[in-house]
Amino acid sequence: MRVALVKSFSFEAAHWLPSFPDGHKCRRLHGHSFRADVVVEGEVPADSCYLVDYGDIKRATEPIERELDHTCLNEIAGLENPTSEMIAKWIWDRLAPVLPLLHEIVVHETCASRCHYKGARG
């Protein structure tokens, strides 16, 4: 049986988007209540009846959540241009080494706007 599990975490953060044109509202400093969904996918082993312990996903995401929460994202190495796309890749790059079944990162910037990222695996 193939399944996908999703574990979410949230963080409050400010940013500005230097790649946007002068005068664009996102070029100014502003904040969001971000949510990130971490999706792992694979075949459930018959001997365990579960794919991954949600607690293992949480332990992997906690340091990332602490690093992002209540910060100015532009001040974090690798997030100097913190678009949703770049945030999703940044999270992927940190989780892929510790979550072998990582399938997708979804960054929700607002209730209606989100980015899906499926990074390349070796």
What distance in Å separates the CA atoms of residue 65 and residue 27, rounded to the nearest whole number? Answer: 24
**Whether residue 49 lies in the annotated active site:** no
Identify the CATH number of the domain in which residue 58 sits: 3.30.479.10
User: Residue 122: inside a domain, yes or no?
Assistant: no
pTM, to two decimals: 0.95
* Catalytic member of 24, 70, 75, 116: 70
pLDDT, tens digit (0-9, with 9 covering 90-100), for 78-113: 999 999 999 999 999 999 999 999 999 999 999 999
80 belongs to a structural domain: yes
Q: Domain of 38?
A: 2-117
Does residue 110 fall inside a structural domain? Answer: yes
Can you give the pLDDT at residue 120? 78
26 is catalytic: yes
Residue 121: predicted pLDDT: 60
DSSP states of 50-92: -SS-HHHHHHHHHHHHHHHTTEEGGGSTT-SS--HHHHHHHHH
Counted domains in the chain: 1
Cα gap 84→113, rounded to integer Å: 9
Catalytic one of 26, 65, 103, 104: 26
pLDDT at residue 11 above 80?
yes
Confirm if 23 and 72 have CB atoms less than 8 A apart. no
